[in-house]
């Protein structure tokens, strides 16, 4: 099981392909706060709800100085289909190797319908302007999570 991040930890650097195959790097966001959220799979009900919630609140988050990046183990082609089908405005990147998911503590053992399985742990990490972890939330719910983040961040 990967280690969970704590406030003050340096956020693991990453460069991953987005839905169009362009490289997206965390380092490119220095000077802005970034909400990096990890979700199991594009085009599934819970992940769609969460991505739509982030899209609906993107302007509010941007005004408060936050960018949003969604990370899943999906390939760019599936991310593009997800973005287009749901009219998503959030930056979606794919981590098929699960290296970034693991580095962020968002991949490992979890309970699913009473069974222990290995997979993506729905998580959100808020990274500050200097690349440090401001908050790390694990095992979050897809529904209502964005509203909770907005409230917790005082936006």
Contact (CB, 8 A) for 72 and 38? yes
| Length of the chain counted residue by residue | 155
Active site residue 52: no
What DSSP assignment string belongs to 14-69?
-EEEBTTS-EEEGGGGTTSEEEEEE-S-TTSHHHHHHHHHHHHTHHHHHHTTEEEE
Report the C-alpha gap between 26 and 131 in whole angstroms: 8
CB atoms within 10 A of CB 138: 17
Catalytic position from the list 47, 120, 133, 146:
47
Catalytic residue IDs:
47
């Amino acid at each position: 099981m990967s280690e969970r991040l704590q406030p003050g930890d340096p956020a693991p650097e990453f460069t991953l392909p987005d839905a169009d195959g362009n490289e997206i790097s965390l380092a490119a966001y220095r000077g802005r706060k970034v909400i990096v959220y990890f979700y199991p799979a594009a085009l599934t009900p819970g992940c769609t709800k969460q991505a739509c919630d982030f899209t609906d609140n993107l302007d509010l988050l941007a005004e408060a100085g936050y960018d949003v990046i969604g990370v899943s183990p999906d390939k760019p082609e599936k991310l593009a289909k997800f973005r287009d089908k749901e009219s998503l405005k959030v930056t979606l990147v794919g981590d098929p190797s699960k290296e970034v998911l693991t580095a962020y503590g968002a991949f490992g053992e979890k309970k699913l319908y009473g069974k222990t399985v290995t997979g993506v742990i729905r998580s959100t990490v808020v990274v500050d302007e200097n690349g440090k972890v401001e908050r790390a939330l694990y095992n979050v719910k897809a529904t209502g999570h964005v509203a909770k983040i907005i409230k917790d961040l005082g936006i």
